Amino acid sequence: MRKMTARWPLILALMVGVCLTAPSAPAWAADPIVLGCPLSTAFLYGWDAERGIRLAAEEINAQGGVKVGNEKRPLAVEVIDTRDLEPGVPVSEALLGVEKLLLEKKADFIVGGPVRSEAALAAMPIIAKAQKISILTSGSLTPKYSEMVGQQPDKFKYLFRISGESKWMVTGEIIPCLEEIGKKYNLDRLAIMVQDVAHARAGGAIIAKVMAGKGWKVLDPEVYPTGATDFSMGLVKAKNEKAQVLLIWMDMPETSILLKQWNDMKVPALPFGSIIAAAEQPGFWAATEGKGEFCLANVVNAGNAPSQATPWTMKFVDAYQKKYGLEPEGYGTSSSYMAVYVIKDAIERAGSLDPEKLVAAMKATDLMGVYGRIKFDPQTNQVIPSLDPNEGAVGTIFQWQAGKRVVVFPPKIATGQILLPPWMTAGEKK
Amino acid sequence: MEILIYGIVNSVSLALMALGFTLVYGVSRLPNFAHGSLYVTTGFITWLLLQRLGVPYLIAMLISLVFIAAVGAAMYNFILVRIRGMSISEIIASYAIGLAILEGLRWGGLKGTTHTLPVFASGSVDILGVVVDSHRLLVILLGAILVGLLWVFVNRTRLGLALKGMAQDERAALTLGIDSDRMAVMSMALGAIMAGLAALVLLPLGNIVVEAGYHVLIMAVAVCIVGGLGSWTGAILAAFLIGFAQIFTVAWLGPHFQVVVALLAIILTLISRPSGLFGRQKELEERV
Amino acid sequence: MEAVMATRRKERLDRGIKVRTDGIYAVSSWREIAYLVLPRLLLIGGLLLMPLLLSQAPYWQRVVSIVCIYSLLAISFDFLAHFVGLVSLGGALYIGVGAYIAALLNTHFGLPSWVTVPLSTILGGGFCTLLLWPCLPLRGVYFAIVSLMFPLLAARIIEALDIFGGTDGILGVDGFSSKWMEMYVLIALVLLILFGLRRLVNEDLGLVFRGVKDNDQAVKASGIDVITIKALGVFIASAIGCLGGAMLSHLYMWAGLSQFALDFSIIPIAATVVGGGGTLAGPVIGCLILVPISELLRDFGTLRIAVYALILCGFIVFKSEGLMVYGSRKYQQFERWVQI
C-alpha cells in the first residue's frame, strides 16, 4: 500500500496534455478534398504508391482542382506510416493509422493501402463502417479482398481495388506468357519458388496445377519464409532436376539475393518473377551488377515500366521521371496515380461527396487511363483486367536486357522479345 | 553432397554471426542485443563510402570497422556501464539502442533493395558436381581464418589473455591488476569488429536491409544458447549443428520450416540444458 | 566533487502524515483520508472520465482502448517479473493466443463476445501455462530468452502449416455494439485487475510468490512446491494477457499473425520501465504516457521508433526506478542534506 501515492500530478499533466493535443485537426483556408493514404512508407510498396498519389494530386491541383458541383476544390494528400510491412509490428498499428486518417484527418477517401494483405483485409470493416470510398492500389494482391466485397456487396460497396489480383495475374498473364516462352524455346520443365504468404502460395499452387495440365513437368514448389536469405538449396534442386523456367513469387527485397545466386551458380533456367520485389526497381541492375539480366518480372499494371500501352502511359512515365529523377519503381505506382484520377472523375460525375452517389459514380467509371481502360466489376469492385488496353486494365511483364526493362508481355504493348541467358542457349546448341 | 557443402557454408555464416555476440558475453557477461544493428551499420557505412564517396573497397572496409569498434566501445562506456550486472536491464537497454540505430538507418535512407556490396570474387567453382559460387567458398576460408586469428589473439597475446582471465574469474583478474571496465570496453569493441567482419564477409552475398539486423540477432542468440552462453568452442559447434539442421530441413521438409528449427532448438536446449550443449553446467544458478 | 560527497549526504524521512495514515488512525481526520484516497481517486476518476473528455476526438478514444490493452499486458508483465520473479519477454504470446481463441470461438461457433472474452481468458491462460510449464524451472535470463522465442515460434508455425487462415488471418469477428461499451469495459477491467492484483500480492499467496522470487530454495524447504506456485503466477499473468488479446480481436474484428508481433512484448516492458516496476500501477501510467507519445510521433514516420527506443534507453539508464516509484517517494517522504 505504501507505493500507491503521488501519481496525481502526473496524471493531471497527462490528461491536460492529451486534451490539448487531441482536437488539433488542422484547419484549412480553402476546403480541400482529403485523400488519406495509409502506407508502409519505408518499403517499396509503400513509397511507390505515395509518389504516384502525390504526382497525380499535384497535376490535378495545377489544373485547378476537382470540380464538385459548381466549385473547384483542391486535393490534399495525407500520408500516414502504417509500418505494416515491417516484421514485428502488429497490424492493429496499421488499423489505428487508418482510423487516424478517418477520424482525425477527416479523410474523404482512403487511397493506397494498407499494404499487407492481413492489414488490408482487417481494415475493410473499419473503412466500410465510416462510409468512405476506398481504393486499394498497392501491395495486397489476395483474391480474398474482392471475394469479400462480392460476398457482402452491401456492406463493402465502398471498397474498390484498382491494382491487380492474383487470380487474374496467374490465369490471364503468367500462364499465357509461360506458354509463349515454352513454345518459342521449347521449354517444359518448371520449378516454383514462392514466399510463405497466402497469395504467393495460392498463386504457385494454381500455376503448378494448370501448367501440369498443359503437359509441363512441374517440380514440387519450394516455399520460403519471409526474409529468407539463402536460396542455394532450392536452386541446386532446380538445377539437378533440370528445370528450365524458374517461377518466383516473392514480394520481399531478398529476392535480389536469389537472382545473384542464380547467376553465380549459372542455373540453366529462366527466372520468371510473377511477383519479384527486387527486380522491379530501376536500381536493380546496378544493385546486382548486372547479374539480374534476363530476369522476367511482372509489375502488375502497365506504366510501371516504360511502354506504349496507351497515349497516357509515356506521359505518366515522363512526368514521374521529371519529378522523382527515375522511372516508376514498384508495382503500385501507376495504379495509385490512376486511383486519384478515378476519384476526380467520379466526384465530377457525382457532383457531390455524398457516399451513395459516389459509389454509383465509381461503379460507372469508364476511363482511358495509364494502363488501359479502367472499369470496375459491378459485383466485386475489382478493376476489370484484359490483355488489350482498349478493353480493360493491362498488366506488364518485362525482362531485364542490357540494363533496361524491356516489356515483353502482353503482346499488344510489348517492346521487345524474350531472350534466354547465354548459358542456356549454349546448352541447347550442344 | 550439396547438403554437405551448403551446410558448411551455412554453418560458417552462422558461426560468423554469433562469434561477436558470444565474445562479448563470454568476457563481460553482457548480452549485447544491439549485435544485429552493429552488423547492419557496418554494411551500410561501407556501402556509403564505397558507392557514394568512391573510397576503394579495402579502405572503406577498414574505416567502417574502426568506426564500428568506436560505436561499440562508446555504447559500453557511456550507456551500458551504468547498468552492469542487471541482466534484464542490459538486454532491454542494448536492444533499445539497437532498435534506435536500425530504425534511424531506415529513416536515414536505408530502404529498398538497392544497397549491395560487390563480391570479392565472382564466378563459380565446380566441386564434385556441385556448383558453388566462389564468394561462398571464400566465406568458408575467411571464416576459418577469422576463428584461427581469434584463437591466437585470445591465447597468445597479453590483451587476449587478460580478456580470457576476465571471462574465467572476474575477481581473480581484478586482483591481478586487470581493469574490469577497460576490458569490458575492449570486448565490446572487439565484438563490434567481429559483427562488422561478419557483415563484410556475408553481405556481398545479399543486400543490406534493416531486417537483416533482426535476423542476425536471432540467429546469434540461437547459436550462443545452443552452444552454451559464453563458450566459444560451443558456439562454433552449435553453429554447425544448427546450420546443418537448417539445410536438412530445407532439403527434406521445405524451406519454410527453417526458422522454426532454429527457434525450436533454442527452446528445447533451454528447457533441457540451460547452459547449452557445450557450456559449463551451473545447475544451481539456472534452475530451481 | 568528492569532497562535497564526503561531508554531507542526503537523508530521506517519511512525512508525518504518511506515518499517521499507516494504521487505523487514518480515519481520524478528513485530511488523512484525503491523503490516502486522493491518488487512487485520481487514477480511477481520470481513467473513467477520459472517454468523456475525448468525446470530441473520436480517434483518441480509440487510443484509450489501445492504452488499456497495453496496460493489461504491462500489469501482467510487472506482476510476473516483480512479484513472481519470472521475467517474461513474450507478452505477444498471450495476446496472440487470446485473440486467436476468441476469434475462432466467435467465427466457428458463433458465440457472442461476452462469452468468448471470458472463455478465451481462461482457456488462453491455461494453454499458455501448459506451453510454458517445461520452462518454469528456469531462472533469470534463461527464462526471459525462452519466453521471447514462443511468440516468434507460434507465428512461424501458423504461417508454415497454413492453419487458422494462414497469413490472411481470421476475419469477420464480431465487433462491440458501441464504442462507449468497449472503452468502459476495458477501463473497468484494467481498474479491476489492477486493484485486484494489488490486493492479491498482499495476501498470503502474494507472500509465497515473493518468496519464490527472492529465495526459492527457502520456499522449497518450507514444503511448498515452487513449480506449482510459478505455474499459478504464469496462469494469472497469461490470463490477463489473453484477456487483452481477446478484447483486441473483438475491437478490430480480426485475428492475425501479427498479434504475435514483437511490439506486444516490447511496449509493455517499456511502459513498466518508465512507470516503475513492482508497483502494478506504474505500468498503467507508463502506458498512459508511452502509447499517446507514440501516436503523437506518427508524423515522424520511421524515426518514431528510434525516438521511442531512445526514451526507453534513457529511462532505464538514468531513471531506472520509474516515475511511479519516484513520485510516491516525493509524496511520502521529504529529503534534506545532512552534514556528516
Residue B24: CA atoms inside 13 Å, Cβ hemisphere, count? Answer: 31
Say whether pLDDT at A60 is over 80: yes
Distances, alpha carbon C126 to alpha carbons B264, C94, C131, C235, in Å:
21, 11, 9, 6
Considering only CB atoms, which chain A residues are within 8 Å of B133?
261, 264-265
Q: ipTM greater than 0.85, yes or no?
A: no
Q: Does B6 touch chain A (CB under 8 A)?
A: yes
* Residue A11 scores a pLDDT above 60: no
> How far apart, in whole angstroms, are the C-alpha atoms of residue C271 and residue A245?
52
Q: Check residue A251 and give its pLDDT.
A: 75
Domain boundaries, chain B: 2-209
What nine digits make up the cell of A353? 461527396
Number of domains chain A contains: 2
Pairing state of beta strands A189-195 and A245-250?
Answer: parallel
Residue A263 above 70 pLDDT?
yes
CA distance A205 to A231: 19
Q: How far is CA A212 from the centre of its chain?
A: 28
pLDDT confidence band for A23 (50 / 70 / 90): very low
Which residues from chain A sit within 8 angstroms of residue B256, using beta carbons?
A: 196, 223-225
Q: Measuring CA to CA, how many Å separate B68 from each of B117, B150, B151, B219, C29? A: 17, 18, 22, 20, 63
- Same domain as A267, residue A175: yes
CATH of the domain at A222: 3.40.50.2300
Strands A296-298 and A270-276: parallel
Amino acid letter for position A99: E
Residues 245 to 264 of A: which have CB under 8 A from any B CB?
253-257, 260-261, 264
Q: Which residues of A touch C325 (CB under 8 A)?
A: 3
How far A402 CA lies from chain C's nearest CA (Å)?
Answer: 36
Are residues B271 and C134, on separate chains, in Cβ contact within 8 Å? Answer: yes
CA distance A3 to C82: 14
Same domain, A194 and A284: yes
B92 HSE (CA, 13 A, CB side):
29
Select, from the ranges A80-84, A85-89, A325-329, B213-217, the one with the highest average predicted confidence (pLDDT): B213-217
How large is the average pLDDT for residues A139-152? 80
Nearest residue to A236 via CA among A219, A249, A253, A250: A219
Confidence of residue A28 (pLDDT cuts 50, 70, 90): very low
pLDDT digits 0-9 by tens, A197-251: 777 777 788 888 888 887 888 887 777 776 677 777 778 778 888 888 888 888 7
Residues pairing with A276 in the sheet:
A250
Identify the pLDDT of residue B287. Answer: 58
The interface residues of chain A toward chain C in range 21-80, judged by CB-CB distance below 8 A, are: 21-23, 41-42, 80
Chain A and chain B share a number of CB contacts under 8 A equal to: 109
Q: What is the CATH number of domain C2-339?
A: 1.10.3470
Q: Looking at CA atoms only, how far is residue B142 from chain C in angstroms?
A: 31
**Is C141–B88 a contact, with Cβ atoms under 8 angstroms apart?**
yes
What nine digits make up the cell of C222?
518450507
Q: Is A326 on the interface with B (CB under 8 A)?
A: no
Q: By C-alpha distance, which of B31, B45, B133 is closest to B84?
A: B31
Q: Give me the residues of A, 168-207, that contact B with CB < 8 A.
A: 196
A130 lies within 8 A of chain C by CB:
no
Please name the helix (run of DSSP H) or strand (run of DSSP E) that holds residue B124, with its range, or none: strand B124-127
CA A126 to CA A132: how far, in whole Å? 10
With CA atoms as reference, the chain B residue closest to C217 would be B288
d(CA A38, CA C239): 33
A283 touches chain B (CB under 8 A): yes
pLDDT per residue over A324-356, tens digit each? 878 777 777 888 888 888 888 888 888 888 888
Instruction: Name the pLDDT band for A426 (thresholds 50, 70, 90).
Output: low
Residues of chain B with pLDDT under 70: 1-2, 109-114, 119, 121-124, 126-131, 230, 254-256, 277-288
What gap in Å lies between CA C12 and CA A226, rounded to an integer?
55
* Domain segments of chain C as ranges: 2-339
Its domain, for residue A104, covers: 33-164+309-374
In a domain, A391, yes or no: no
Q: pLDDT band for position A17 (50/70/90)?
A: very low
- Is A178 inside a domain boundary? yes
Is residue A347, in this structure, part of any structural domain at all?
A: yes
**Exposed, middle or buried, C225 (CB in 10 Å: 0-12/13-18/19+)?**
exposed
Which chain C residues have a beta carbon less than 8 Å from that of B95? 266
Q: From CA C139, how far away is CA C86, in angstroms rounded?
A: 7
Q: Are A118 and C258 in contact (CB under 8 A)?
A: yes
Give the pLDDT of residue A3: 39
Smallest Cβ distance to B257: which of C149, C160, C313? C160
DSSP C294-320: HHHGGGGTTHHHHHHHHHHHHHHHH-T
- Flag residues of chain C having pLDDT under 70: 1-6, 25-26, 299, 301-302
A406/A89: higher pLDDT:
A406
